[in-house]
Structure 1
Amino acid sequence: MSDNNKKLSLTARIVIGMIAGIAVGALLQIFFKGSTIVEDYLTNGLFFIIGQIFIASLQMLVVPLVFVSLVLGTCSLSDPAKLGRLGGKAVGLYLVTTAIAISLAIAAAVIVQPGSGLELETEAVFEAKEAPSLAQVIIDLFPTNPFDAFASGNMLQIIVFALLFGIATALVGGKPGERVKALFEDFNEVIMKLVIILMNLAPYGVFALMAKLFSETEFGAITSLGTYFVLVIGVLLAHALITYPIILKLLSRMNPVMFLRKMREVQIFGFSTASSNATMPITLETVTKRLGVHNSVGSFTVPLGATINMDGTAIMQGVATVFIAQVYLVDLSIADYLMVVLTATLASIGTAGVPGVGMIMLAMVLGQVGLPVEGIGLIIGVDRLLDMTRTAVNVTGDAMVSVIVAKSEGALDEEVFNDANADVKERDVGDKL
């Protein structure tokens, strides 16, 4: 590798890939819109293939990474009761940040009034899937067939089985327990090396994803929903860059600037893939290797956060609810707003394993305050870009909670956290592969 290439960090290369992809996609949209050749061979050909292979490669690692790292972390715990504390702290923090997120969103939407005076036609009729009951969610936590949970990627069931397997390994002890633990340590090293390899291929995958998206994006929809779009983006950025750093500083006394600096790659991955699950390998690698969170904590809080932490989605729901109410000229009371906050916060767990979770949660929220579910059709046109941004917020929240929980449990290596170059040397080795 030449000296010039070494000067460019992985983050810089990913940003260059993202910007280049956006530029290429926008140019194709402007100059070659409707071109069959461009659509067949570039948009739906080369860009689509590279982008999907990149996302599939990330998703390929999610199940083995979560299972192996969580088993390893659990069987390393000297105190099994620590799991209860970890779970209580993590779930509590995720719910609190979600409640704060949607409260900020509602307050901002009430002040700005993005739907005031608009007469928009519904672009699509949205049919909401029925969300499972709380009782069913609790029952579904426990897999009847762990291999089926692995095959379908049911993260909550995988987490539960991994915890039970890890506890059993710890309780077995002796040579059997040591052999199993050593095996999982080896597996974990191999999987993390795969993560590093994929991270160094990321600029090409990000370029393809951005080029395809922006070559197909209808910018007219963004123009007609400009106030709504900008408001959601603004609240998302405020939550990620102001709320999270404040909470991190108050509860852990760690440097929020260093935290955000080390989260840039994860945020770019989240933005590009629009999937917390697909980003999970990168999130866990960053949390454990760059932020200094012990694997026994990070392997639990990161998968849990990717499953139930819905701060970005909650912000969209808060703004969208007020927006739809204003478009349909419905006055919401203080009680209605409180109901929105409560419903969205609790639904973040209740709909965790359901596909299309954001829209399902929004449909639930709208139903609670008597707004037409069809109003979702008004915002579908710009939701893809907003989905990317709120995923970047969600993964930031996952890491922030992981750091706070680790610090409270004495499982945070502050020297690694404060080292700006932590894990960089290992990545340089990965560049040469």
Structure 2
Amino acid sequence: MENLFIIINIAVFLALLGVLFVMQRKHVSFSKRVFTGLGLGILFGFLLHLFYGAESDTTGGTIEWLNIVGTGYVRLLQMVVMPLVFISILGAFTRMKLVNNVGKISFLVIGILIGTTAISAAIGIGTTIGFGLDGVQLTEGEAEASRNAELADRVTEVENLTVPQQLVQMIPSNPFADLTGARATSTIAVVIFAAFVGVAFLGVRRKQPEQAELFAKIVDAFYSIIMRIVTLVLRLTPYGILALITKVAATSNYEAIVSLGKFVIASYVALILMFIVHLILLSFAKLNPVQYVKKGWPTLMFAFTSRSSAGTLPMNIKSQTKDFGVSEGIANFAGPFSLSIGQNGCAGIYPAMLAVMVAPTVGINPLDPGFILMLIFVVMISSFGVAGVGGGATFASLIVLSVMDLPLAIVGLLISVEPLIDMGRTALNVSGGMTTGILTSRMTGEFDQEVYERKEVVEA
């Protein structure tokens, strides 16, 4: 009987995929298909949860089949992330997009990412204090104990890691290994390696222009191929979102969400406040924030459902260049850098909130100005090298709590609501990256105002 229900559920899912396919054949806009997939996924997932329960074998079996589409789509995106990061930055040099002001652009991109992370940490601290969140009130159940046991290995990795050692971790020693994503800091290592190759190209171009021209053509050919792959994958976005949000709605522990509702609400208040800061920064740059929300919504929604900043990178760069008028060179810097530096949600708000919650358990007054300033500084430094995939916030939190000499167990006590909060954190991370690209492009004069003001979202 169980198998029959699974087959029925799969048939319904295939019918929903068919609806999206018909919409695509009728040339319905990309954003409308994304929102349709989101809505259908929420409804279908809720019905699965209602009829079978989050932990039933029927739900598990159904989700296992749905993962072919959902997880498969995310893996396809992750497949092109490292090649895209490397070739995008290198292409920015060979295409002469950043030759004249590469130093200024790098400074602005990193400065905005780190600056907004400091602001997000301050917001996280203020929200935690305002809501009166206290780590003492959290209890450890079977799932939480299991989670803390799983984190034991990661704790060993970071508990003795000083800030200088953390910075050293970002320097690539084997770029080919980093291209496989072998380390948590692989993305920033690939960025650094690509920048070195780009600077070397500029030197060769001055002394051996013929060899440099040949190399530039090879890079341009690889860039065209990779971007074509990205285009093919992005066309699957509505289907991927349908499967991903169905899984979230079907498997969420609503009882745990209710019991930790105060923390969930406080987290989303902080995330929304930081998103408003992004809009305010765009307003200061004399850009319409409403336009940013409308055109960036499909990308933000994919980040929300996939919980992967790295997986969203192709859409991030596409939105910056095709929808917001950011130059290719700057978008190819801001997008990859935002994967590992200054993630406002995962590396800013979340670690700051946990630190404030757990501070009273060891006799520290979270209102102490010295503690607050030190926490913001540690969050800023620790935001370097955070992996842009699901779980990056856990790693960032472990680092911050370890450096601040605070108990680490609180990280595992929030496992039941971690997926729900991580969705909002990831969307904020991606928003921070897109905002950084727009502001940098605006400040360097490499910005197309007409593209930003155009109402239509460019199809993948």
Same fold (TM over 0.5): yes
Contact in 2 for aligned 1:76/1:170 (Cα 8 Å): no
Which of 15, 18, 23 is equivalent to 2:43?
23
3-state SS of 1:349 partner: coil
2:240 maps to: 205
Question: Are positions 1:273 and 2:301 aligned together?
Answer: no
Structure 1 205/266 Cα, relative in aligned 2: closer, same or farther at 3 Å? same
Whole-Å separation in 2 of the counterparts to 1:134 and 1:321: 17
1:90 maps to: 109
Question: Are positions 1:233 and 2:260 aligned together?
Answer: no
Name the aligned partner's letter for residue 27 of structure 1: L
Contact in 2 for aligned 1:291/1:416 (Cα 8 Å): yes
Whole-Å separation in 2 of the counterparts to 1:366 and 1:144: 27
Question: How far has the Cα of 1:84 moved from its partner?
Answer: 1.9
Question: Are positions 1:14 and 2:27 aligned together?
Answer: no
Question: Are positions 1:160 and 2:192 aligned together?
Answer: yes
1:172 maps to: 204
Cα deviation per residue 1:67-103 (whole Å; 9 max; x = unaligned)?
2221111123377462222221111111110111111
Cα deviation per residue 1:309-342 (whole Å; 9 max; x = unaligned)?
2211221223333334568886423322222222
Structure 1 186/380 Cα, relative in aligned 2: closer, same or farther at 3 Å? same
Which of 252, 263, 278 is equivalent to 1:244?
278
Name the aligned partner's letter for residue 246 of structure 2: A
Cα deviation per residue 1:247-301 (whole Å; 9 max; x = unaligned)?
1222x32222222222111101111211111111110111112111111111111
Question: Are positions 1:130 and 2:149 aligned together?
Answer: no
| Structure 2: tracts of 5 or more residues without a match | 1-20
Contact in 2 for aligned 1:129/1:360 (Cα 8 Å): no
Q: TM-score, normalised by structure 1?
A: 0.88
Contact in 2 for aligned 1:277/1:307 (Cα 8 Å): no
Contact in 1 for aligned 2:339/2:387 (Cα 8 Å): no
Whole-Å separation in 2 of the counterparts to 1:166 and 1:368: 35
Whole-Å separation in 1 of the counterparts to 2:373 and 2:125: 10
Which of 345, 354, 357 is equivalent to 1:320?
354
Structure 1 114/159 Cα, relative in aligned 2: closer, same or farther at 3 Å? same
Deviates more, 1:394-403 or 1:188-197: 188-197
Whole-Å separation in 1 of the counterparts to 2:386 and 2:93: 26
2:118 maps to: 99
Structure 1 364/117 Cα, relative in aligned 2: closer, same or farther at 3 Å? closer
Question: How far has the Cα of 1:354 moved from its partner?
Answer: 10
Whole-Å separation in 2 of the counterparts to 1:129 and 1:354: 20
Whole-Å separation in 2 of the counterparts to 1:320 and 1:53: 32
2:16 maps to: none
Question: Are positions 1:254 and 2:287 aligned together?
Answer: yes
Contact in 2 for aligned 1:156/1:353 (Cα 8 Å): no
3-state SS of 1:253 partner: coil
Deviates more, 1:209-218 or 1:111-120: 111-120
Cα deviation per residue 1:10-47 (whole Å; 9 max; x = unaligned)?
1221122122222222222221125434422x122x11
Question: Are positions 1:52 and 2:71 aligned together?
Answer: yes
1:423 maps to: 458
Contact in 2 for aligned 1:339/1:368 (Cα 8 Å): no
Whole-Å separation in 2 of the counterparts to 1:256 and 1:36: 45
Number of corresponding residues? 421
Question: How far has the Cα of 1:172 moved from its partner?
Answer: 2.8
Question: How far has the Cα of 1:5 moved from its partner?
Answer: 5.7
Whole-Å separation in 2 of the counterparts to 1:353 and 1:263: 19
Whole-Å separation in 1 of the counterparts to 2:213 and 2:342: 34
1:431 maps to: none
Structure 1 102/138 Cα, relative in aligned 2: closer, same or farther at 3 Å? closer
Contact in 2 for aligned 1:115/1:228 (Cα 8 Å): no
Deviates more, 1:375-384 or 1:73-82: 73-82
Whole-Å separation in 1 of the counterparts to 2:105 and 2:388: 21
Whole-Å separation in 2 of the counterparts to 1:319 and 1:25: 30
3-state SS of 2:180 partner: helix
Question: Are positions 1:298 and 2:334 aligned together?
Answer: no
Identity rate of aligned residues, in percent?
Answer: 27
Question: How far has the Cα of 1:367 moved from its partner?
Answer: 4.2
1:150 maps to: 179
2:12 maps to: none
Whole-Å separation in 2 of the counterparts to 1:330 and 1:142: 34
Name the aligned partner's letter for residue 157 of structure 1: A
RMSD across aligned C-alpha pairs, in angstroms? 2.7
1:430 maps to: none
Whole-Å separation in 2 of the counterparts to 1:130 and 1:335: 27
Name the aligned partner's letter for residue 76 of structure 2: S
| Structure 1: tracts of 5 or more residues without a match | 428-433
Name the aligned partner's letter for residue 417 of structure 2: V
Whole-Å separation in 1 of the counterparts to 2:22 and 2:349: 44
2:8 maps to: none
Structure 1 217/209 Cα, relative in aligned 2: closer, same or farther at 3 Å? same
3-state SS of 2:383 partner: helix
2:6 maps to: none
Whole-Å separation in 2 of the counterparts to 1:350 and 1:56: 21
Contact in 1 for aligned 2:271/2:425 (Cα 8 Å): yes
Deviates more, 1:400-409 or 1:337-346: 337-346
